[in-house]
Amino acid sequence: MVLDFIGGWGGRVESPRDGADRLQRSLQEMPDLSHLYSPWLLNGVKEDGTFVHLPNDIDGIEQVVADSILRGDDGLAMVKTGYTPDLIRMCEGSYRKYSVRVGFDGTGLKNHVHFSLDDPADDPSGVIDPALVADHLHILVRAWEPDYIYVAPKKHRRSIGCKPGQICAGWLTYVKDNVPLDETALRAHAIEITSGDGGRYIQLNGTPTTPDLEQATIVRQALGY
């Protein structure tokens, strides 16, 4: 089973360099999992039938971000849609993703990040554990400064009726201070909530793969769903 880290934030004008700085920072802070995954590759970009590696230098990453801008049928850049770098790393024939929309500052869309990591229970080396899952979420928060981000598998998201674009209460969820949240309701049900990184971290009982469903429902209600 795969854990998805899904976050979003409102309009924020950012350049390809800004996006590259954020992306590089997150990758540099992430633990080394090279024994489980390939290096990061550019999704959909191939040379001689093989995927192209993400450059290591900031100038190369900036170019990747700049090249990711969406283009219309006429080939012209759709400058208002932001930049959408899309990375993957291979894991035993399948892939795990890291995709972002950054620099969008309009209506109808949202800047977002979607990162995936293997379930700790599926890692034969035992390196991926709940603490490492939490580390990844904190790294993504610091890098992208989202309004929210949570970690949960697709099965959990479906079980609590979480729709696309909504904040889904995962095993660990971050919401920025300006996002409405009834903290009193959470504390009344002994749900762990701590301040940090300009927002609040909410942790549920259970595991990253199987968060407590009752608590998840309470968090969703506290968020106004």
pLDDT in tens, 159-206: 999 888 889 999 999 999 999 999 999 999 999 999 999 999 999 999
The last residue of one of the domains, among 146, 170, 188, is: 146
Query: Where is 221: in which H helix or E strand?
Result: helix 213-222
**Domain residue limits at 70:** 1-146
- The pLDDT value recorded for residue 123 is 72
Nearest-angstrom CA–CA distance, 68 and 196: 32
| Residue found under tokens 């049928």 | 73
Mean pLDDT of 103-111: 84
| Residue found under tokens 């309470």 | 218
User: To the nearest whole percent, how much of the chain has pLDDT over 90?
Assistant: 76
Residues 16 and 123 in one domain: yes
Mean pLDDT of 109-130: 85
In a 3-state reduction of DSSP, which class is residue 2? strand
SS (H, E, C) 116-138: EEECHHHCCCCCCCHHHHHHHHH
Residues 16 and 103 in one domain: yes
Query: Where is 65: in which H helix or E strand?
Result: helix 58-67
Could you tell me where the beta strands, DSSP code E, fall in the chain?
A: 2-9, 41-47, 50-53, 86-91, 94-101, 111-118, 148-152, 172-176, 192-196, 199-203
pLDDT tens per residue across span 138-149: 999 999 999 999
Residues 103 and 214 in one domain: no
- The pLDDT value recorded for residue 48 is 83
Residues 165 and 62 in one domain: no
> How many helices (DSSP H) and strands (DSSP E) are in the chain?
6, 10
Nearest-angstrom CA–CA distance, 27 and 40: 9
- The pLDDT value recorded for residue 41 is 97
Total domains in the fold of the chain: 2
The last residue of one of the domains, among 146, 175, 191, is: 146
Nearest-angstrom CA–CA distance, 116 and 162: 18
pLDDT tens per residue across span 45-96: 888 888 999 999 999 999 999 999 877 666 666 666 789 999 999 988 789 9
- The pLDDT value recorded for residue 91 is 87
- The pLDDT value recorded for residue 75 is 61
Residues 173 and 79 in one domain: no
Residues 1 and 96 in one domain: yes
Q: What's the CA dihedral at 29, 3, 34, 41 to 10 degrees?
A: -90
- The pLDDT value recorded for residue 121 is 76
Nearest-angstrom CA–CA distance, 105 and 113: 15
Q: Torsions phi, psi of 135, nearest 5?
A: -60, -45
Mean pLDDT of 113-124: 86
Residues 167 and 75 in one domain: no
Residues 15 and 88 in one domain: yes
Residues 124 and 168 in one domain: no
Residues 171 and 130 in one domain: no
Q: Please enumerate in sequence order all residues whose Cβ is within 8 A of that of 100, keeping only pairs 6 or more positions apart, or say none.
A: 19, 23, 83, 84, 85, 86, 111, 112, 113, 114, 144
